[in-house]
Amino acid sequence: MSDFAAKKHSGLDGAASRSGRSAGSRLGTGLLYVILGVLAFLQVYPLFWLFLFSLKTNQEVFGASPFALPQDPQWGNYAKAWTQGHINLYFLNSVWYTAAAVFLTIILASFVTFAITRMYWKLNRLVLGLFMIGLMIPLHSTLIPLFSFFKNVGLIDNPLSIILSYTAFNLPLTIMILLGFYQTLPREIEEAAVMDGCSVHRIFFRITLPLTTPVIATTAIINMIYNWNEFVFVNTFINSDRLKTLTVGVNSFVGQYLTDWGAIGATLIISIVPILIAFLVLSNRIVEGMAAGSVKG
């Protein structure tokens, strides 16, 4: 009888312990959701504030509280930015520069990574080290040499100067990201292709490159964000208004005596939308690429 009572008492203690752990788990989960909700609010609210800012007049921007809602939403700020500020032209230039540079960066980085990880030659480690040194070179320290070089070859005020600069500065980081993913790819697939008489070029374009789609999406969005938001190269190498990008073209609303802050806000919203859309479309691929590249085996 005493054994039965002891077992019953032990069972009650176990149930109470499990109940306590369950309550603690629910509390921890609830606290985690609260923290994540606060972080999400801190991330999203600046975009919402900028959207409200783009609908205000100069008087509302400086006269009322910066957090106040616009009394009479100025949707015309977007039309003014798109037409009078030539944002349509700057937008197309940004798309063209960004797309060309992203394509060049990814294809060249894929070539380099494939050669380093899949081909055996004496200087592959040295070449990889030279590319990684590019991560340590400050961008601003290259402006004068690049300007002199582009001037000598006639590329000042030419889109090629921007595209080549973006490609060169994004190559080291892109190669580093691709490197981790390439090392996880099984060599048996390529060895079987070689046994079937497949050339190196066909192995790369028909087998390796399609397998790296997730990590390519990751590098694409990283490069896209950098290229889209870049200011220094365009401001240094481009003189003509017809070749400027959104980040530089927004200065067209800044005057000596009057600045149209609402139109500037509208321009910034227009510049943010493509990046948000690209991130939402490629988000699943980005997660897959980061997860696959972090596990070796």
In-domain check, residue 40: yes
Please give the angle made by the CA atoms of 201, 207 and 211, to the nearest 5 degrees.
Answer: 130
Position 296 scores a pLDDT of 47
Name the nearest CA neighbour of 211 among 118, 104, 98, 275.
118
Position 297 scores a pLDDT of 45
Characterise 56 by phi-psi region: left (phi > 0), alpha (psi -120 to 50), beta (else): beta
Domain stops at, among 36, 53, 70: 53
Residues 157 and 33 in one domain: no
Residues 34 and 161 in one domain: no
Q: How far apart are CA 220 and CA 105, in angstroms?
A: 9
Residues 98 and 150 in one domain: yes
Residues 36 and 86 in one domain: no
Position 290 scores a pLDDT of 56
Question: Cβ distance 166 to 96 under 8 Å?
Answer: no
Residues 276 and 158 in one domain: yes
Residues 136 and 261 in one domain: yes
In-domain check, residue 69: no
Residues 99 and 23 in one domain: no
- The CATH number covering residue 235 comes to 1.10.3720.10
Q: How far apart are CA 107 and CA 144, in angstroms?
A: 28
- Could you read off the pLDDT tens digit of each residue along the chain, which spans 297 residues? 555 455 445 555 555 556 656 767 788 888 889 999 999 999 889 889 889 888 888 888 887 677 788 888 888 888 888 887 788 889 999 999 999 999 999 999 999 999 888 888 888 888 888 898 988 888 888 999 999 999 999 999 999 999 999 999 999 999 998 998 888 888 888 888 888 888 888 888 888 888 888 888 889 988 998 999 899 999 999 988 889 998 888 776 666 446 778 888 888 888 888 888 887 877 666 666 555 544 444
Residues 17 and 126 in one domain: no
152's enclosing H/E stretch is helix 143-152
Position 277 scores a pLDDT of 85
Position 167 scores a pLDDT of 95
249 CB-near residues (< 8 Å, 6+ apart): 85, 86, 87, 89, 90, 241, 267
Cβ atoms < 10 Å from Cβ of 173: 19
Q: What range defines the domain where residue 264 resides?
A: 79-293
In-domain check, residue 38: yes
Residues 265 and 161 in one domain: yes
Residues 136 and 267 in one domain: yes
Q: How far apart are CA 195 and CA 58, in angstroms?
A: 70
In-domain check, residue 74: no
Position 158 scores a pLDDT of 94
Cβ atoms < 10 Å from Cβ of 33: 10
In-domain check, residue 211: yes
In-domain check, residue 70: no
What letter would DSSP give residue 259?
B
Q: Find where tokens 């980061």 sit.
A: 290
Residues 34 and 91 in one domain: no
In-domain check, residue 58: no
Residues 46 and 135 in one domain: no
Q: How many domains does the chain have?
A: 2
In-domain check, residue 257: yes
